[in-house]
Structure 1
């Protein structure tokens, strides 16, 4: 925007200066020509007065003195053909002036000022003052150069002033854009400092009001979800009591296990809602992945699955909460158990990635994603809703990483998560 305003001011100022300075330059040249002609005319008139009133020697000295004082050579052509003063050739214009008519004639190299003097001895005499082209344009080029420098200086000054004014508008506008980007990234504490023109200050106040309103709405939403989650504890307590009252101990134990799992899920929802209002947490990816793989290894042994675990030497801090990373690993391994037959082997690989990130890869020897690729969230495909991959993708995005899927070297599906470093996340904040 600053460059556009500077270019606009430069173009506008240039047009104004051209429309002003070009006529002024022509006027300067015209004035210089008029002054040079007037000077030569005065020199010719001073000599014409002496023609017929003094002798020839005095007339010659008068012509020489007039030419020396004015800077324009002065010549007197007498009627009998004699020439006094500066030597010059008799031109057709001189012959025309000898008929009694004063005139100005253009000749090669300049201009002649011819003045006819009647009543001189022997007939009409002609006084000639010569103006060279340099005499006509004396001082014109210097004046033009001064006007050009003045024009360039005015254009430069206009650009500087326009840049200052543009900065006064662009700086607060850029600050508003930065605040909006921070809000888009989840920093709801970002606020704009109203500054600049009144319109920009009004926009800053409106953005601050919008940010405050968003914070209030999110807080209300979190409280509503948390309250709803707490309300679920009452029926959970009733289910637990019903499970304890069952006569079959085995059936009672299974029901209690189901109730415990449901209660843990409800607690996780509450903690997740509460955690969104706090600073992003971090964890050691090596410890979390090892713990979850050991948990699933028991079920893998029951289903005759071969588990390969390859972990980098810890610790490997990532910008993901331990609970979120555990849910992510559970979702990926749960997909392996849900969508591959018993006996299918799988591998979990955790290695350092670029910029202190962590690369988590889960691959299996199953049928893979199929020709349609992995299902999207909310879309069913081969018995999958795509929620597991969405959980993993969200965890990767929130850490500043990414998720990619493909075919593994084992022959089945492969999901690779790039988890951002906790140190890098601290620097960004």
Structure 2
């Protein structure tokens, strides 16, 4: 029984709770009211009988009663009443009623009115005084069944009103239970849809602020999970392209050396080894980024990172007769970012300048407000106005995939990668300071 009560729905619990409260409240009001109505009707009847008994006692000819002569009751006695005149000993002297009445005897004995129930009648007695001494008692009675029927009719009416009140309470409880349970049912459906991979779930709004807050939180969580999943998918595709591009270059170099007669195989092998080392470094960085769940949590040593860039890219640019210029001013502001992520972003930008750019390649670091800007530029013709720089292209040279990966890595580090100028091209990587600084 206990286990079943725990599995009852919210609708049932709210309906039961409100209905029980309505029944308890109606009972607490109805029972005392029913008792009060019963006492009220009895008191009204006794008051009416007392008035009639007092009036009749005052109108009786006490001289005839005292002398033992015959007499008549007043003609204005209300119909439906049983009126009897009793001796001080409680014996019926004139009129209707039982042969003896103890209540009438008490009235004649102490000279005060009395009430009571005798033989199914509700009665009131009043003394008939003569020279200050009671010589008889008037007994006025009405069937007690009439009083009971009046009380029962009032009780039936009260019971009908109570039942109507409880029914209205149950209707309100049913509506309220549906109003409270429906938002939770919608949240449950949304959570199930989210679990099945639907990240577009948006629970409908309701009039319950707590349920609306939970729905908004669930919708925000679904949106974030969708963005994270999309970013992970894009990251996987972009990483696959980056690795495939490097591996293709390595294989093409070796294949070209083998296909040419008199080729310098030693030089080809050394070039392949250099490319293999770069590929190894890329794999290490990307694996580190894939496993690292932190975002912008560690200070970045910008001068040390750019020194690595100089050592890695100076020779490749020099082989094309091009110059690499890196400008790092002193006293740079502290920024929080992952070194592998920034290294990979700069690798994409420098590779872009190497393949598609011309002339000198510059890497300039500057402070812009409260952020640090690392800009990569060259002296080439730049990018056409209609070109979507960061769009992922699956056809053509595939170069946009690398820029898309770079932007994704920058956003993952709470930074931004923008094309500040199209011709000559200038890419700017904006990095934020550590949280709380």
Normalising by structure 1, what TM-score? Answer: 0.51
For these two proteins, the number of residue pairs brought into alignment is: 244
Instruction: Give distance in 1, aligned partners of 2:83 and 2:76.
Output: 9
Does 2:221 correspond to 1:210?
yes
Cα pair distance change 1:11/1:58, threshold 3 Å: farther
Which of residues 181, 188, 208 in structure 2 aligns to 1:170? Answer: 181
Q: Is the 8 A contact 2:15 2:173 kept in 1?
A: yes
Question: Could you tell me how far 1:117 is from its partner in structure 2?
Answer: 0.7
SS at match of 1:165: helix
The answer for the alignment partner of 1:111 in structure 2 is: 122
The answer for the alignment partner of 1:132 in structure 2 is: 143
Instruction: Give distance in 2, aligned partners of 1:50 and 1:200.
Output: 79
Q: Is the 8 A contact 1:194 1:201 kept in 2?
A: yes
Q: Output one character per residue of 1:189-210: Cα deviation in whole Å (capped at 9) or x when no partner.
A: 2222333222222222222211
Does 2:29 correspond to 1:17?
no
The answer for the alignment partner of 1:334 in structure 2 is: none
Does 2:105 correspond to 1:95?
yes
What 5-or-longer segments of structure 2 have no aligned partner?
1-9, 260-437
Question: Could you tell me how far 1:143 is from its partner in structure 2?
Answer: 0.9
Q: How does 1:214-363 map to 2 (within 5 A)?
A: 214-234=225-245, 236-237=247-248, 238-239=250-251
Q: Is the 8 A contact 1:112 1:128 kept in 2?
A: yes
Cα pair distance change 1:217/1:23, threshold 3 Å: same
The answer for the alignment partner of 2:77 in structure 1 is: 66
Which of residues 3, 22, 31 in structure 1 aligns to 2:40? Answer: 31
The answer for the alignment partner of 1:157 in structure 2 is: 168
The answer for the alignment partner of 1:272 in structure 2 is: none
Q: Is the 8 A contact 1:47 1:59 kept in 2?
A: no
SS at match of 1:232: helix
Q: Is the 8 A contact 2:86 2:136 kept in 1?
A: yes
Cα pair distance change 1:138/1:65, threshold 3 Å: farther
Q: Output one character per residue of 1:90-137: Cα deviation in whole Å (capped at 9) or x when no partner.
A: 2333334333533224323233322111218x9702111123321332
Question: Could you tell me how far 1:222 is from its partner in structure 2?
Answer: 0.5
Structure 1, 188-197 or 76-85: larger mean CA deviation: 76-85
Question: Could you tell me how far 1:5 is from its partner in structure 2?
Answer: 0.9
Q: Output one character per residue of 1:397-416: Cα deviation in whole Å (capped at 9) or x when no partner.
A: xxxxxxxxxxxxxxxxxxxx
Which of residues 184, 199, 207 in structure 1 aligns to 2:210? Answer: 199
Question: Could you tell me how far 1:239 is from its partner in structure 2?
Answer: 4.5
Question: Could you tell me how far 1:186 is from its partner in structure 2?
Answer: 1.0
Question: Could you tell me how far 1:59 is from its partner in structure 2?
Answer: 4.8
Q: How does 1:338-417 map to 2 (within 5 A)?
A: none
Cα pair distance change 1:235/1:79, threshold 3 Å: closer
Tell me the C-alpha RMSD between the 2 structures. 3.1
Instruction: Give distance in 1, aligned partners of 2:152 and 2:88.
Output: 41
Instruction: Give distance in 1, aligned partners of 2:20 and 2:152.
Output: 25
| Structure of larger gyration radius | 2
The answer for the alignment partner of 1:271 in structure 2 is: none
Q: Output one character per residue of 1:134-171: Cα deviation in whole Å (capped at 9) or x when no partner.
A: 13324111111111111121122122122222322222
The answer for the alignment partner of 2:57 in structure 1 is: 48
What 5-or-longer segments of structure 1 have no aligned partner?
248-429
SS at match of 1:46: helix
The answer for the alignment partner of 1:84 in structure 2 is: 94
SS at match of 2:77: helix
Which of residues 4, 10, 14 in structure 2 aligns to 1:5? Answer: 14
Give runs of ≥4 in structure 1 deviating > 4 Å.
53-59, 78-82, 239-247
Q: Is the 8 A contact 1:43 1:74 kept in 2?
A: no
Instruction: Give distance in 2, aligned partners of 1:96 and 1:79.
Output: 8
Q: Output one character per residue of 1:32-67: Cα deviation in whole Å (capped at 9) or x when no partner.
A: 1101111111221221112126968995342x7515
Instruction: Give distance in 1, aligned partners of 2:92 and 2:180.
Output: 80
Instruction: Give distance in 1, aligned partners of 2:105 and 2:227.
Output: 104
SS at match of 1:190: coil
